[in-house]
Amino acid sequence: MPITIADVAARAKVSKTTVSRVLNGKGELDESTAARVRAVIEELGYVPSARAVNLARGRTRVIGMLVPSLTWPWMGEVLQGAVDVLEAEEYGLLLFTFNRGDDSMRQFAAQVAAKSFDGLLAIEPEGTLSYLVTLHNRGLPMVLIDDRDQIAGGQIPTVGTTNHSGAADAARHLLGIGRHKPLVITGPSRFGCTVQRTDGFSSAFAEAGHPIPDTYVLPGDFTVACGSDGVKQAIAAGLDFDAVFCHNDLSAFGAVQAVQDAGRRVPEDVAVVGFDDIPMAAHHQPALSTVHQPMREMGEAAARTLLAHFEGTALPNRPTVIPATFTARASTQP
């Protein structure tokens, strides 16, 4: 059987509280008593639970992370960035998803109540923002990742990227290769990133003297199917377009397929641009031109912000912004 703190206390003829104080360096103890306890610990080969020691010190050295789902194409990049920073500082990660809706949140809330982690990184699942704001206001250190700062109202520190200027860069690339009639397939209108990407792209075309008609902007939902369906609808409606800008890479994959199924060439007849730069974008046929979101860097920055707070640095009161960059590949350049 494993040696317990009770075994150490019995052999050293002290209380378990005294053993705990020796282990954690807390409280004033007679040096001879402390030496006797340390000798018994060595003699018995007692190894204290790291979790128990950290809890006694008021810290778990565990960070919670709440995400909507692990199926989002770029989620792995965010997680890896956060984990790289946390592991380097000998912190663990406790991961929660929103896959089961209210049941998932009840499980998460139970872990919050149990103080199972020191702070939280979150890509806010829809409908949970007010709860997260409440937790933050009650003292749970927290950093949000992605575009949710648009609705957080500055109440929670955030790490995001430049959706507006990233989309504008995509527009200027298309204008630079002579494409003046783009079709736009958006993301869900309730997302801040959708508004930013639409505005950035449309503004660049308007400034160049080629405003985009409303009929050329089609709603999407970030799926392959919405990209395919949008192109098919545009062709059926007789829209004359020479480019497609999709608000994410998955919908861009669908758009490429629909353009090719219609007998048109990519990029010779229709150039296609996505947004995100998920790993598959570079390996797609043709390789996808896209706006690179610095997802790993965002995960790293969020984790560093939280750990710095534990060392005494105040959480920032303005968003941390890591710029997006445009990457040109074969879907716009023969």
Q: Please give the chain's pLDDT, 334 residues, in tens.
A: 678 888 888 988 988 888 878 876 666 678 888 888 888 888 888 776 655 555 555 678 999 999 999 988 899 999 999 999 999 999 999 999 999 988 999 999 999 988 889 999 999 998 898 899 999 999 999 999 976 544 445 678 999 999 999 999 999 999 999 999 999 999 999 888 999 999 999 999 999 999 999 999 999 999 999 999 999 999 999 999 999 999 999 999 999 999 999 999 999 999 999 999 999 999 999 999 999 999 999 999 999 999 999 999 999 888 899 999 999 999 999 7
Overall number of domains in the chain: 3
CB atoms within 10 A of CB 188: 14
**Are 156 and 206 found together in one domain?**
no
Does 201 share its domain with 285?
yes
Chain centre to alpha carbon of residue 229: 28
User: Looking up tokens 């089609």, which residue turns up?
Assistant: 218
Residues 171, 272 share a domain: yes
Residue with tokens 């750990």: 307
* DSSP summary character for residue 14: S
Residues 209 and 287 in one domain: yes
- pTM, two decimal places: 0.81
Please compute Rg for the chain using Cα positions.
Answer: 26
In-domain check, residue 134: yes
Residue at 92 is within a domain: yes
The verdict on 68 and 47 lying in the same domain is no
Q: Domain of residue 31: give its range.
A: 5-56
Rounded distance between C-alpha atoms, residue 61 and residue 26, angstroms: 18
Q: Are residues 209 and 317 in the same domain?
A: no
Whole-number Å distance between alpha carbons of 19 and 36: 10
50 and 90, same domain (yes or no): no
Upstream peptide bond of 286 is cis (omega within 30 degrees of 0)? yes
3 state SS of 237: coil
Structure tokens at 90: 């000998």
153 and 300 together in one domain: yes
CA 193 from chain centre, in angstroms, equals 13
* Cα–Cα distance for residue pair 64/79, rounded to 1 Å: 12
Instruction: Answer whether residue 328 is part of any domain.
Output: no
Q: Which two tokens stand for residue 109?
A: 């809330």
pLDDT of residue 151: 47
